[in-house]
Chain A
Amino acid sequence: MRAATWLYIGAFLAFLFLPLAVVGFFAFNDADYPAPPWRGFTWDWFLGSAAAGRTGLFQDRELLTSIGTSAYVAAWVTLLAVSAGTTNAFLLERGRFRGKQALSILMLAPLVIPGVILGISILAFASRIADVADDVFGWDADWLRPGLPLVILGQFSYVVTIATLTISARLRRFDPTLEEAALNLGASRAAVLRTIMLPFLRPALLGSAAISFLLSFEDFNTTLMLVGSDAPLTILMYGRMREGATPVLNAVSLFLMAASGVLALTLLRRNSKAG
Protein backbone atom coordinates (compact mmCIF):
# COMPACT_ATOMS: atom_id res chain seq x y z
CA MET A 1 0.00 0.00 0.00
CA ARG A 2 2.64 2.51 1.02
CA ALA A 3 4.89 1.55 -1.85
CA ALA A 4 2.00 1.92 -4.24
CA THR A 5 1.26 5.37 -2.83
CA TRP A 6 4.79 6.60 -3.32
CA LEU A 7 4.95 5.05 -6.75
CA TYR A 8 1.83 6.99 -7.68
CA ILE A 9 3.21 10.24 -6.31
CA GLY A 10 6.47 9.60 -8.15
CA ALA A 11 4.66 9.04 -11.42
CA PHE A 12 2.49 12.09 -10.82
CA LEU A 13 5.52 14.30 -10.21
CA ALA A 14 7.24 12.88 -13.28
CA PHE A 15 4.16 13.77 -15.31
CA LEU A 16 4.25 17.29 -13.92
CA PHE A 17 7.94 17.95 -14.34
CA LEU A 18 8.97 16.03 -17.44
CA PRO A 19 7.78 18.69 -19.90
CA LEU A 20 9.60 21.43 -18.01
CA ALA A 21 12.73 19.33 -17.69
CA VAL A 22 13.02 18.66 -21.41
CA VAL A 23 12.41 22.31 -22.21
CA GLY A 24 15.32 23.30 -19.99
CA PHE A 25 17.53 20.45 -21.11
CA PHE A 26 17.30 21.10 -24.84
CA ALA A 27 18.06 24.79 -24.41
CA PHE A 28 21.69 23.66 -24.24
CA ASN A 29 21.70 21.08 -27.00
CA ASP A 30 24.13 21.76 -29.82
CA ALA A 31 21.56 21.12 -32.58
CA ASP A 32 19.26 23.19 -34.74
CA TYR A 33 16.09 21.67 -33.35
CA PRO A 34 15.05 20.96 -29.78
CA ALA A 35 15.07 17.20 -30.23
CA PRO A 36 17.20 14.21 -29.29
CA PRO A 37 19.88 12.99 -29.63
CA TRP A 38 22.12 15.01 -27.37
CA ARG A 39 24.89 16.55 -29.45
CA GLY A 40 26.88 18.29 -26.76
CA PHE A 41 26.60 21.38 -24.63
CA THR A 42 26.35 24.87 -26.09
CA TRP A 43 25.49 28.44 -25.06
CA ASP A 44 24.54 29.24 -28.67
CA TRP A 45 20.81 29.52 -27.96
CA PHE A 46 21.48 32.22 -25.43
CA LEU A 47 24.49 34.04 -26.86
CA GLY A 48 24.67 33.06 -30.53
CA SER A 49 24.35 35.76 -33.18
CA ALA A 50 22.60 35.71 -36.52
CA ALA A 51 25.99 35.93 -38.26
CA ALA A 52 26.94 32.56 -36.77
CA GLY A 53 23.72 31.05 -38.08
CA ARG A 54 22.14 30.65 -34.69
CA THR A 55 20.32 33.58 -33.20
CA GLY A 56 20.47 33.24 -29.44
CA LEU A 57 18.02 34.77 -26.99
CA PHE A 58 20.14 37.81 -26.22
CA GLN A 59 20.61 38.62 -29.92
CA ASP A 60 17.04 37.97 -30.97
CA ARG A 61 15.58 41.47 -31.29
CA GLU A 62 12.08 40.23 -31.95
CA LEU A 63 12.02 38.05 -28.82
CA LEU A 64 13.56 40.70 -26.60
CA THR A 65 11.10 43.30 -27.85
CA SER A 66 8.19 40.98 -27.14
CA ILE A 67 9.44 40.39 -23.59
CA GLY A 68 9.49 44.17 -23.19
CA THR A 69 5.96 44.39 -24.61
CA SER A 70 4.71 41.72 -22.21
CA ALA A 71 6.32 43.49 -19.27
CA TYR A 72 4.81 46.82 -20.33
CA VAL A 73 1.33 45.30 -20.61
CA ALA A 74 1.73 43.39 -17.34
CA ALA A 75 2.86 46.53 -15.49
CA TRP A 76 -0.25 48.40 -16.59
CA VAL A 77 -2.56 45.50 -15.85
CA THR A 78 -1.01 45.13 -12.38
CA LEU A 79 -1.36 48.82 -11.59
CA LEU A 80 -4.97 48.97 -12.75
CA ALA A 81 -6.02 45.65 -11.23
CA VAL A 82 -4.52 46.33 -7.80
CA SER A 83 -5.98 49.85 -7.66
CA ALA A 84 -9.45 48.78 -8.76
CA GLY A 85 -9.18 45.63 -6.65
CA THR A 86 -8.56 47.77 -3.56
CA THR A 87 -11.50 50.10 -4.18
CA ASN A 88 -13.69 47.06 -4.95
CA ALA A 89 -12.62 45.41 -1.71
CA PHE A 90 -13.62 48.47 0.30
CA LEU A 91 -16.86 48.66 -1.64
CA LEU A 92 -17.74 45.04 -0.92
CA GLU A 93 -16.60 44.98 2.70
CA ARG A 94 -17.66 48.44 3.83
CA GLY A 95 -20.28 49.65 1.37
CA ARG A 96 -23.97 49.52 2.13
CA PHE A 97 -26.18 49.89 -0.87
CA ARG A 98 -28.99 48.23 -2.68
CA GLY A 99 -27.90 45.57 -5.13
CA LYS A 100 -24.60 44.83 -3.44
CA GLN A 101 -25.22 41.10 -3.61
CA ALA A 102 -25.91 41.28 -7.34
CA LEU A 103 -22.83 43.43 -7.89
CA SER A 104 -20.60 41.00 -6.02
CA ILE A 105 -21.90 38.11 -8.13
CA LEU A 106 -21.38 40.11 -11.32
CA MET A 107 -17.80 40.76 -10.22
CA LEU A 108 -17.17 37.01 -10.26
CA ALA A 109 -18.57 36.61 -13.77
CA PRO A 110 -15.27 37.26 -15.61
CA LEU A 111 -13.92 34.07 -14.07
CA VAL A 112 -16.53 31.91 -15.79
CA ILE A 113 -16.48 33.66 -19.15
CA PRO A 114 -13.96 31.96 -21.46
CA GLY A 115 -11.03 34.25 -22.21
CA VAL A 116 -11.65 34.04 -25.93
CA ILE A 117 -15.17 35.41 -25.45
CA LEU A 118 -13.93 38.24 -23.24
CA GLY A 119 -11.51 39.06 -26.03
CA ILE A 120 -13.98 39.11 -28.92
CA SER A 121 -16.67 40.95 -26.96
CA ILE A 122 -14.29 43.71 -25.96
CA LEU A 123 -12.95 43.83 -29.51
CA ALA A 124 -16.45 44.21 -30.95
CA PHE A 125 -17.55 46.81 -28.42
CA ALA A 126 -14.38 48.88 -28.78
CA SER A 127 -14.73 48.85 -32.56
CA ARG A 128 -18.34 49.99 -32.26
CA ILE A 129 -17.27 52.95 -30.13
CA ALA A 130 -14.40 53.76 -32.44
CA ASP A 131 -16.76 53.68 -35.44
CA VAL A 132 -19.26 55.95 -33.71
CA ALA A 133 -16.50 58.34 -32.66
CA ASP A 134 -15.29 58.43 -36.25
CA ASP A 135 -18.71 58.81 -37.90
CA VAL A 136 -20.24 61.31 -35.51
CA PHE A 137 -17.33 63.36 -34.25
CA GLY A 138 -14.68 62.61 -36.81
CA TRP A 139 -12.36 61.40 -34.05
CA ASP A 140 -9.69 58.94 -34.88
CA ALA A 141 -9.78 56.63 -31.86
CA ASP A 142 -6.89 54.40 -32.83
CA TRP A 143 -6.40 53.04 -29.35
CA LEU A 144 -9.76 51.31 -29.60
CA ARG A 145 -8.50 49.23 -32.53
CA PRO A 146 -6.59 46.00 -31.85
CA GLY A 147 -3.37 46.87 -30.07
CA LEU A 148 -1.77 47.13 -26.67
CA PRO A 149 -4.36 49.41 -24.99
CA LEU A 150 -7.06 46.87 -25.78
CA VAL A 151 -4.84 44.00 -24.66
CA ILE A 152 -4.35 45.80 -21.34
CA LEU A 153 -8.09 46.37 -20.92
CA GLY A 154 -8.93 42.81 -21.92
CA GLN A 155 -6.55 41.26 -19.42
CA PHE A 156 -7.56 43.75 -16.75
CA SER A 157 -11.21 42.74 -17.18
CA TYR A 158 -10.67 39.39 -15.49
CA VAL A 159 -7.43 39.89 -13.54
CA VAL A 160 -9.17 42.55 -11.43
CA THR A 161 -11.62 39.91 -10.17
CA ILE A 162 -8.76 37.91 -8.72
CA ALA A 163 -7.19 41.02 -7.19
CA THR A 164 -10.57 41.94 -5.68
CA LEU A 165 -11.00 38.49 -4.13
CA THR A 166 -7.49 38.51 -2.65
CA ILE A 167 -7.71 41.99 -1.18
CA SER A 168 -11.28 41.60 0.17
CA ALA A 169 -10.31 38.38 1.92
CA ARG A 170 -7.61 40.29 3.78
CA LEU A 171 -9.80 43.29 4.49
CA ARG A 172 -12.45 41.00 6.01
CA ARG A 173 -9.92 39.98 8.65
CA PHE A 174 -9.24 43.56 9.66
CA ASP A 175 -9.98 44.36 13.29
CA PRO A 176 -12.21 47.47 13.23
CA THR A 177 -11.33 48.34 16.82
CA LEU A 178 -7.90 49.44 15.59
CA GLU A 179 -9.51 51.93 13.26
CA GLU A 180 -11.94 53.05 15.97
CA ALA A 181 -9.14 53.59 18.44
CA ALA A 182 -7.21 55.72 15.96
CA LEU A 183 -10.28 57.78 15.14
CA ASN A 184 -11.01 58.19 18.84
CA LEU A 185 -7.52 59.49 19.37
CA GLY A 186 -8.17 62.13 16.77
CA ALA A 187 -6.56 60.70 13.66
CA SER A 188 -8.01 61.85 10.36
CA ARG A 189 -9.51 59.31 7.95
CA ALA A 190 -6.59 59.81 5.56
CA ALA A 191 -4.12 59.17 8.36
CA VAL A 192 -5.96 56.00 9.38
CA LEU A 193 -5.89 54.80 5.80
CA ARG A 194 -2.19 55.52 5.44
CA THR A 195 -0.89 54.34 8.80
CA ILE A 196 -3.24 51.46 9.64
CA MET A 197 -5.24 50.16 6.69
CA LEU A 198 -2.60 50.14 3.98
CA PRO A 199 0.11 48.53 6.13
CA PHE A 200 -2.43 45.89 7.14
CA LEU A 201 -3.40 45.27 3.51
CA ARG A 202 0.21 45.30 2.32
CA PRO A 203 0.66 41.51 2.03
CA ALA A 204 -2.54 41.19 0.02
CA LEU A 205 -1.60 44.15 -2.17
CA LEU A 206 1.83 42.70 -2.92
CA GLY A 207 0.44 39.22 -3.40
CA SER A 208 -2.25 40.35 -5.78
CA ALA A 209 0.26 42.50 -7.65
CA ALA A 210 2.50 39.49 -8.20
CA ILE A 211 -0.42 37.30 -9.29
CA SER A 212 -1.75 40.01 -11.61
CA PHE A 213 1.64 40.45 -13.22
CA LEU A 214 2.04 36.74 -13.73
CA LEU A 215 -1.48 36.23 -15.09
CA SER A 216 -1.03 39.10 -17.50
CA PHE A 217 2.41 37.97 -18.62
CA GLU A 218 1.10 34.48 -19.32
CA ASP A 219 -2.28 35.36 -20.77
CA PHE A 220 -2.91 33.94 -24.19
CA ASN A 221 -6.63 33.62 -24.98
CA THR A 222 -7.79 37.16 -24.40
CA THR A 223 -4.61 38.64 -25.82
CA LEU A 224 -4.87 36.61 -29.02
CA MET A 225 -8.14 38.30 -29.93
CA LEU A 226 -7.05 41.84 -29.11
CA VAL A 227 -3.46 41.96 -30.25
CA GLY A 228 -2.33 44.35 -32.98
CA SER A 229 1.10 44.57 -34.53
CA ASP A 230 3.08 44.50 -31.26
CA ALA A 231 3.11 40.89 -30.15
CA PRO A 232 3.61 40.04 -26.48
CA LEU A 233 5.84 37.07 -25.73
CA THR A 234 3.13 34.38 -25.53
CA ILE A 235 1.74 35.35 -28.93
CA LEU A 236 5.17 35.47 -30.55
CA MET A 237 6.13 32.10 -29.06
CA TYR A 238 2.88 30.58 -30.28
CA GLY A 239 3.52 31.81 -33.80
CA ARG A 240 7.05 30.41 -33.80
CA MET A 241 5.94 27.08 -32.36
CA ARG A 242 3.53 26.64 -35.23
CA GLU A 243 6.33 27.25 -37.71
CA GLY A 244 8.67 24.79 -36.02
CA ALA A 245 10.75 26.16 -33.23
CA THR A 246 14.49 26.46 -32.79
CA PRO A 247 15.96 25.95 -29.31
CA VAL A 248 15.95 29.70 -28.79
CA LEU A 249 12.41 29.16 -27.53
CA ASN A 250 13.78 26.73 -24.98
CA ALA A 251 16.23 29.41 -23.92
CA VAL A 252 13.52 32.01 -23.45
CA SER A 253 11.38 29.43 -21.62
CA LEU A 254 14.21 28.68 -19.25
CA PHE A 255 14.54 32.39 -18.65
CA LEU A 256 10.80 32.57 -17.85
CA MET A 257 11.04 29.60 -15.49
CA ALA A 258 13.87 31.29 -13.63
CA ALA A 259 11.89 34.52 -13.38
CA SER A 260 8.76 32.72 -12.14
CA GLY A 261 10.88 30.77 -9.67
CA VAL A 262 12.32 33.95 -8.21
CA LEU A 263 8.84 35.47 -7.98
CA ALA A 264 7.41 32.35 -6.31
CA LEU A 265 10.24 32.11 -3.78
CA THR A 266 9.96 35.78 -2.83
CA LEU A 267 6.23 35.39 -2.31
CA LEU A 268 6.58 32.20 -0.28
CA ARG A 269 9.26 33.71 1.95
CA ARG A 270 7.19 36.81 2.48
CA ASN A 271 4.17 34.71 3.38
CA SER A 272 6.03 32.53 5.82
CA LYS A 273 7.47 35.63 7.46
CA ALA A 274 4.06 37.22 7.75
CA GLY A 275 2.94 33.99 9.36
Chain B
Amino acid sequence: MADAAATEHAATEHAAPGLAAPGPVAPSRWSGRIALWLLLAPALLWLLALIVLPHVELALLSFRERVGPRQYVASLAQYRTFFDEPLYWHVFIRTAWMSILSTLLTLLLAFPTAWVIAKIARGRAGALLFAVCLIPFWVSETVRTLGWIILLRESGVLPALLVKLGITAVPVELLYRDATILVGLVYTSMLFMLVPLVSSLESLDDSLIEAAYDLGAGGFAILRTIVIPHAAPGITAGCIIVFMLTLGNYLTPTLLGGKNSAWFTEQIYTQFITRFNWEQGAALGFLLLALSTGLVVSGLRLTGQRFGDVMRRT
Protein backbone atom coordinates (compact mmCIF):
# COMPACT_ATOMS: atom_id res chain seq x y z
CA MET B 1 0.00 0.00 0.00
CA ALA B 2 2.76 2.38 1.04
CA ASP B 3 4.51 1.47 -2.15
CA ALA B 4 1.50 2.36 -4.29
CA ALA B 5 1.14 5.68 -2.51
CA ALA B 6 4.80 6.35 -3.05
CA THR B 7 4.60 5.62 -6.78
CA GLU B 8 1.55 7.79 -7.09
CA HIS B 9 3.38 10.57 -5.31
CA ALA B 10 6.40 10.08 -7.53
CA ALA B 11 4.12 10.10 -10.55
CA THR B 12 2.73 13.50 -9.65
CA GLU B 13 6.17 14.82 -8.97
CA HIS B 14 7.86 13.59 -12.09
CA ALA B 15 4.88 13.65 -14.40
CA ALA B 16 5.19 10.07 -15.51
CA PRO B 17 2.82 9.45 -18.42
CA GLY B 18 -0.61 8.32 -17.39
CA LEU B 19 -3.89 9.55 -16.11
CA ALA B 20 -4.32 10.98 -12.66
CA ALA B 21 -6.85 8.89 -10.82
CA PRO B 22 -7.70 9.62 -7.23
CA GLY B 23 -8.70 6.85 -4.89
CA PRO B 24 -7.05 3.96 -3.16
CA VAL B 25 -7.11 1.73 -6.23
CA ALA B 26 -4.35 3.22 -8.29
CA PRO B 27 -4.92 2.00 -11.83
CA SER B 28 -2.22 -0.21 -13.21
CA ARG B 29 0.37 1.52 -15.33
CA TRP B 30 -1.06 -0.13 -18.41
CA SER B 31 -4.67 0.87 -18.01
CA GLY B 32 -3.52 4.38 -17.18
CA ARG B 33 -1.46 4.51 -20.34
CA ILE B 34 -4.22 3.13 -22.50
CA ALA B 35 -6.63 5.69 -21.08
CA LEU B 36 -4.11 8.41 -21.78
CA TRP B 37 -3.69 7.36 -25.38
CA LEU B 38 -7.44 7.11 -25.86
CA LEU B 39 -7.74 10.71 -24.69
CA LEU B 40 -4.74 11.83 -26.71
CA ALA B 41 -6.02 10.30 -29.95
CA PRO B 42 -8.80 12.81 -30.74
CA ALA B 43 -6.64 15.75 -29.69
CA LEU B 44 -3.71 14.66 -31.84
CA LEU B 45 -5.94 13.79 -34.76
CA TRP B 46 -7.54 17.22 -34.61
CA LEU B 47 -4.32 19.19 -34.20
CA LEU B 48 -2.32 17.23 -36.77
CA ALA B 49 -4.91 16.67 -39.47
CA LEU B 50 -6.68 20.02 -39.26
CA ILE B 51 -4.10 22.48 -37.96
CA VAL B 52 -0.44 21.43 -38.26
CA LEU B 53 -0.33 19.44 -41.49
CA PRO B 54 -2.60 21.82 -43.42
CA HIS B 55 -0.28 24.67 -42.52
CA VAL B 56 2.74 22.64 -43.59
CA GLU B 57 0.98 22.00 -46.89
CA LEU B 58 0.22 25.70 -47.22
CA ALA B 59 3.88 26.53 -46.57
CA LEU B 60 5.00 24.02 -49.20
CA LEU B 61 2.55 25.47 -51.71
CA SER B 62 3.77 28.99 -51.09
CA PHE B 63 7.39 28.04 -51.75
CA ARG B 64 6.92 26.53 -55.18
CA GLU B 65 6.35 27.74 -58.67
CA ARG B 66 4.55 26.15 -61.60
CA VAL B 67 6.86 25.71 -64.56
CA GLY B 68 4.68 23.46 -66.68
CA PRO B 69 1.58 21.27 -66.47
CA ARG B 70 1.90 19.46 -63.15
CA GLN B 71 5.53 20.51 -62.87
CA TYR B 72 6.72 22.57 -59.96
CA VAL B 73 10.05 23.81 -58.65
CA ALA B 74 10.94 25.24 -55.28
CA SER B 75 11.12 28.99 -55.49
CA LEU B 76 10.43 32.27 -53.78
CA ALA B 77 8.55 33.58 -56.80
CA GLN B 78 5.25 33.91 -54.94
CA TYR B 79 6.73 36.11 -52.26
CA ARG B 80 8.65 38.09 -54.87
CA THR B 81 5.40 38.81 -56.70
CA PHE B 82 3.98 40.18 -53.50
CA PHE B 83 6.74 42.75 -53.21
CA ASP B 84 6.92 43.51 -56.94
CA GLU B 85 3.22 44.05 -57.32
CA PRO B 86 2.30 47.33 -55.59
CA LEU B 87 -1.37 46.33 -55.44
CA TYR B 88 -0.61 43.47 -53.09
CA TRP B 89 1.45 45.25 -50.52
CA HIS B 90 -0.61 48.41 -50.70
CA VAL B 91 -3.66 46.39 -49.76
CA PHE B 92 -1.62 44.55 -47.15
CA ILE B 93 -0.52 47.74 -45.43
CA ARG B 94 -3.94 49.27 -45.79
CA THR B 95 -5.55 46.23 -44.16
CA ALA B 96 -3.07 46.33 -41.28
CA TRP B 97 -3.52 50.07 -40.79
CA MET B 98 -7.31 49.97 -40.89
CA SER B 99 -7.29 47.05 -38.47
CA ILE B 100 -5.13 48.93 -35.99
CA LEU B 101 -7.33 51.99 -36.34
CA SER B 102 -10.50 50.03 -35.83
CA THR B 103 -9.02 48.22 -32.82
CA LEU B 104 -8.17 51.55 -31.17
CA LEU B 105 -11.60 52.96 -31.97
CA THR B 106 -13.26 49.89 -30.52
CA LEU B 107 -11.23 50.24 -27.35
CA LEU B 108 -12.06 53.93 -27.07
CA LEU B 109 -15.79 53.34 -27.52
CA ALA B 110 -16.00 50.23 -25.36
CA PHE B 111 -14.03 51.54 -22.40
CA PRO B 112 -16.59 54.04 -21.03
CA THR B 113 -19.36 51.48 -21.41
CA ALA B 114 -17.28 48.82 -19.67
CA TRP B 115 -16.60 51.33 -16.90
CA VAL B 116 -20.28 52.06 -16.45
CA ILE B 117 -21.12 48.35 -16.39
CA ALA B 118 -18.38 47.47 -13.92
CA LYS B 119 -18.23 50.53 -11.68
CA ILE B 120 -21.27 52.80 -11.98
CA ALA B 121 -24.34 50.66 -12.67
CA ARG B 122 -23.23 47.66 -10.54
CA GLY B 123 -25.25 44.77 -9.22
CA ARG B 124 -28.38 43.86 -11.11
CA ALA B 125 -28.42 47.02 -13.20
CA GLY B 126 -24.83 46.42 -14.32
CA ALA B 127 -25.50 42.79 -15.14
CA LEU B 128 -28.60 43.76 -17.06
CA LEU B 129 -26.81 46.45 -19.05
CA PHE B 130 -24.02 44.00 -19.82
CA ALA B 131 -26.47 41.37 -21.02
CA VAL B 132 -28.26 43.94 -23.18
CA CYS B 133 -24.95 45.00 -24.75
CA LEU B 134 -24.22 41.40 -25.69
CA ILE B 135 -27.58 40.73 -27.36
CA PRO B 136 -26.63 41.90 -30.88
CA PHE B 137 -23.77 39.43 -30.98
CA TRP B 138 -26.08 36.49 -30.78
CA VAL B 139 -27.14 37.41 -34.29
CA SER B 140 -24.89 36.56 -37.20
CA GLU B 141 -22.54 39.08 -38.76
CA THR B 142 -24.41 38.73 -42.04
CA VAL B 143 -27.59 40.03 -40.45
CA ARG B 144 -25.82 42.90 -38.70
CA THR B 145 -24.14 43.91 -41.94
CA LEU B 146 -27.48 43.83 -43.72
CA GLY B 147 -28.67 46.29 -41.09
CA TRP B 148 -25.81 48.67 -41.82
CA ILE B 149 -26.45 48.43 -45.55
CA ILE B 150 -30.11 49.35 -45.06
CA LEU B 151 -29.08 52.23 -42.81
CA LEU B 152 -26.30 53.68 -44.95
CA ARG B 153 -26.90 53.10 -48.63
CA GLU B 154 -28.04 55.92 -50.86
CA SER B 155 -31.67 54.88 -50.71
CA GLY B 156 -31.28 53.95 -47.06
CA VAL B 157 -32.49 55.28 -43.74
CA LEU B 158 -29.75 57.71 -42.72
CA PRO B 159 -29.41 59.49 -46.08
CA ALA B 160 -33.19 59.94 -46.11
CA LEU B 161 -33.04 61.30 -42.58
CA LEU B 162 -30.27 63.74 -43.53
CA VAL B 163 -32.40 65.08 -46.38
CA LYS B 164 -35.42 65.41 -44.12
CA LEU B 165 -33.38 67.31 -41.55
CA GLY B 166 -32.16 69.60 -44.31
CA ILE B 167 -28.51 68.72 -43.81
CA THR B 168 -28.04 67.47 -47.36
CA ALA B 169 -30.10 68.44 -50.39
CA VAL B 170 -30.08 64.99 -51.99
CA PRO B 171 -29.46 61.56 -50.46
CA VAL B 172 -25.74 60.85 -50.22
CA GLU B 173 -24.17 57.45 -50.62
CA LEU B 174 -22.72 56.52 -47.23
CA LEU B 175 -21.64 53.03 -48.25
CA TYR B 176 -18.38 52.19 -50.01
CA ARG B 177 -16.28 54.58 -47.93
CA ASP B 178 -13.40 53.75 -45.64
CA ALA B 179 -15.23 55.32 -42.71
CA THR B 180 -18.14 52.96 -43.37
CA ILE B 181 -15.83 49.97 -43.29
CA LEU B 182 -14.45 51.22 -39.97
CA VAL B 183 -17.94 51.63 -38.52
CA GLY B 184 -18.81 48.09 -39.54
CA LEU B 185 -15.59 46.66 -38.17
CA VAL B 186 -15.89 48.48 -34.86
CA TYR B 187 -19.47 47.32 -34.55
CA THR B 188 -18.63 43.72 -35.25
CA SER B 189 -15.71 43.71 -32.79
CA MET B 190 -17.43 45.41 -29.87
CA LEU B 191 -18.30 42.22 -27.99
CA PHE B 192 -14.74 40.94 -27.98
CA MET B 193 -13.52 44.18 -26.45
CA LEU B 194 -16.35 44.65 -23.98
CA VAL B 195 -16.14 41.23 -22.32
CA PRO B 196 -12.45 41.28 -21.29
CA LEU B 197 -12.66 44.97 -20.33
CA VAL B 198 -15.62 44.47 -18.03
CA SER B 199 -14.06 41.43 -16.38
CA SER B 200 -10.78 43.21 -15.73
CA LEU B 201 -12.45 46.38 -14.45
CA GLU B 202 -14.75 44.45 -12.13
CA SER B 203 -11.79 43.20 -10.14
CA LEU B 204 -10.49 46.72 -9.53
CA ASP B 205 -10.85 47.62 -5.86
CA ASP B 206 -12.85 50.85 -5.48
CA SER B 207 -10.99 51.82 -2.32
CA LEU B 208 -7.85 52.34 -4.42
CA ILE B 209 -9.64 54.97 -6.46
CA GLU B 210 -11.16 56.57 -3.37
CA ALA B 211 -7.76 56.68 -1.69
CA ALA B 212 -6.28 58.34 -4.76
CA TYR B 213 -9.05 60.94 -4.75
CA ASP B 214 -8.51 61.56 -1.06
CA LEU B 215 -4.83 62.09 -1.71
CA GLY B 216 -5.76 64.72 -4.27
CA ALA B 217 -5.22 62.91 -7.55
CA GLY B 218 -7.21 64.14 -10.55
CA GLY B 219 -9.42 62.00 -12.76
CA PHE B 220 -6.84 61.69 -15.50
CA ALA B 221 -4.03 60.81 -13.10
CA ILE B 222 -6.17 58.07 -11.58
CA LEU B 223 -7.04 56.70 -14.99
CA ARG B 224 -3.39 56.67 -16.02
CA THR B 225 -1.80 55.36 -12.85
CA ILE B 226 -4.46 53.08 -11.38
CA VAL B 227 -7.23 52.11 -13.76
CA ILE B 228 -5.27 51.47 -16.93
CA PRO B 229 -2.46 49.48 -15.28
CA HIS B 230 -5.06 47.36 -13.52
CA ALA B 231 -7.11 46.82 -16.66
CA ALA B 232 -4.04 46.20 -18.83
CA PRO B 233 -4.56 42.43 -19.13
CA GLY B 234 -8.14 43.00 -20.26
CA ILE B 235 -7.13 45.75 -22.65
CA THR B 236 -4.43 43.58 -24.18
CA ALA B 237 -6.72 40.59 -24.48
CA GLY B 238 -9.45 42.66 -26.09
CA CYS B 239 -7.08 44.42 -28.50
CA ILE B 240 -5.43 41.19 -29.60
CA ILE B 241 -8.69 39.41 -30.29
CA VAL B 242 -10.23 42.40 -32.03
CA PHE B 243 -7.18 43.07 -34.16
CA MET B 244 -6.95 39.49 -35.24
CA LEU B 245 -10.62 39.17 -36.08
CA THR B 246 -10.58 42.45 -37.97
CA LEU B 247 -7.55 41.51 -39.99
CA GLY B 248 -9.14 38.21 -40.95
CA ASN B 249 -12.58 39.66 -41.58
CA TYR B 250 -14.03 39.24 -45.04
CA LEU B 251 -17.74 39.87 -44.86
CA THR B 252 -17.82 43.39 -43.43
CA PRO B 253 -15.17 45.02 -45.68
CA THR B 254 -16.47 43.44 -48.87
CA LEU B 255 -20.12 44.24 -48.23
CA LEU B 256 -19.72 47.71 -46.75
CA GLY B 257 -16.73 48.70 -48.87
CA GLY B 258 -17.91 47.17 -52.12
CA LYS B 259 -15.37 47.43 -54.89
CA ASN B 260 -13.31 49.93 -52.88
CA SER B 261 -12.84 47.66 -49.92
CA ALA B 262 -9.37 46.40 -50.94
CA TRP B 263 -9.10 44.00 -48.02
CA PHE B 264 -6.31 41.46 -47.89
CA THR B 265 -8.51 38.42 -47.22
CA GLU B 266 -10.34 39.30 -50.41
CA GLN B 267 -7.13 38.92 -52.40
CA ILE B 268 -6.48 35.56 -50.82
CA TYR B 269 -9.96 34.51 -51.86
CA THR B 270 -9.43 35.79 -55.39
CA GLN B 271 -6.17 33.88 -55.80
CA PHE B 272 -7.41 30.69 -54.21
CA ILE B 273 -10.97 30.38 -55.40
CA THR B 274 -11.41 32.64 -58.43
CA ARG B 275 -8.06 32.34 -60.17
CA PHE B 276 -7.19 28.93 -58.78
CA ASN B 277 -3.62 30.16 -58.25
CA TRP B 278 -3.06 28.27 -55.02
CA GLU B 279 0.66 28.96 -54.84
CA GLN B 280 0.12 32.73 -54.82
CA GLY B 281 -2.87 32.42 -52.51
CA ALA B 282 -0.86 30.34 -50.06
CA ALA B 283 1.93 32.92 -49.99
CA LEU B 284 -0.56 35.73 -49.34
CA GLY B 285 -2.18 33.60 -46.66
CA PHE B 286 1.14 33.12 -44.93
CA LEU B 287 1.89 36.80 -45.05
CA LEU B 288 -1.46 37.51 -43.38
CA LEU B 289 -0.75 34.85 -40.77
CA ALA B 290 2.69 36.33 -40.16
CA LEU B 291 1.26 39.82 -39.76
CA SER B 292 -1.44 38.61 -37.40
CA THR B 293 0.91 36.46 -35.31
CA GLY B 294 3.61 39.14 -35.32
CA LEU B 295 1.32 41.81 -33.97
CA VAL B 296 -0.21 39.46 -31.42
CA VAL B 297 3.23 38.42 -30.15
CA SER B 298 4.56 41.96 -30.03
CA GLY B 299 1.39 43.06 -28.26
CA LEU B 300 2.00 40.40 -25.62
CA ARG B 301 5.68 41.31 -25.32
CA LEU B 302 4.91 44.97 -25.00
CA THR B 303 2.61 44.37 -22.07
CA GLY B 304 4.52 41.42 -20.64
CA GLN B 305 1.74 38.87 -20.77
CA ARG B 306 1.46 35.22 -21.55
CA PHE B 307 -0.58 33.93 -24.45
CA GLY B 308 -2.39 31.26 -22.46
CA ASP B 309 -3.50 33.67 -19.75
CA VAL B 310 -4.81 36.15 -22.28
CA MET B 311 -6.77 33.51 -24.17
CA ARG B 312 -8.37 32.10 -21.07
CA ARG B 313 -9.52 35.58 -20.15
CA THR B 314 -11.75 35.86 -23.18
Contacts and interface: CB of A to CB of B under 8 A. Distances in A.
Given A117-B285, A241-B255, A268-B131, A95 B20 contact: yes
Interface in A170-207: 176-177, 179-180, 183-184, 189
A110 B289 CA distance: 12
A122 interface: yes
B51 A109 contact: yes
A210 to B, nearest CB: 10
A273 interface: no
B58 interface: yes
B133 A114 contact: no
A141 interface: no
Q: Is the interface of B mostly helix, strand, loop or mixed?
A: helix
A122 B269 contact: no
A257 B248 CA distance: 25
A89 to B, nearest CB: 9
B232 interface: no
Interface string B50-77: 1111110110010000000000000000
A269 interface: no
A144 B61 CA distance: 18
B285 A120 contact: yes
A165 B19 CA distance: 19
A88 B46 CA distance: 10
Contacts of A5: 112, 116, 120
A92 to B, nearest CB: 9
Interface residues on B, range: 35 or more
Interface in A212-249: 214, 217-218, 220-221, 224-225, 233-234, 237-238, 241-242, 245, 249
The interface residues of chain A, by DSSP majority, are classed as helix
A15 B187 contact: yes
Contact of B43 (A17, A107, A237, A261): A107
B101 interface: no
Interface stretch (B22-30, B204-212, B220-228): B22-30
Given A16-B136, A122-B50, A220 B296 contact: no
Given A106-B51, A220-B250, A9 B113 contact: yes
A120 B147 contact: no
Given A5-B116, A156-B50, A220-B251, A124 B58 contact: yes
Given A98-B17, A114-B289, A220-B141, A19 B116 contact: no
A34 interface: yes
A2 to B, nearest CB: 9
A253 interface: yes
B25 A116 contact: no
Interface in B113-166: 113, 116, 120, 129, 131-133, 135-136, 138-151, 153, 155-157, 160
A123 B61 CA distance: 12
A111 interface: yes
A50 interface: no
Given A8-B112, A8-B113, A96-B20, A153 B146 contact: no
A116 B250 contact: yes
Contact of B146 (A180, A218, A245): A245
Contacts of A95: 18-20, 36, 39-40
A33 B249 CA distance: 27
A94 B109 CA distance: 42
A19 B187 CA distance: 10
B149 A241 contact: yes
Contacts of B40: 91, 95, 97
Interface string A92-135: 00111110100111111111111111101111111010000000
Interface in B268-284: 268-269, 272-273, 278, 281-282
A12 B147 contact: no
B247 interface: yes
A118 B257 CA distance: 24
Contacts of B293: 112
Nearest to B246: A114
B312 interface: yes
A120 B282 contact: yes
A123 B51 CA distance: 11
6 contacts: A114-B289, A114-B292, A116-B288, A183-B22, A221-B265, A253-B142
Interface of B: 11-12, 15-25, 36, 38-40, 42-43, 46-47, 49-55, 57-58, 61, 109, 112-113, 116, 120, 129, 131-133, 135-136, 138-151, 153, 155-157, 160, 187, 190, 240-241, 244, 247-251, 254-255, 265, 268-269, 272-273, 278, 281-282, 285, 288-289, 292-293, 296, 307-308, 311-312
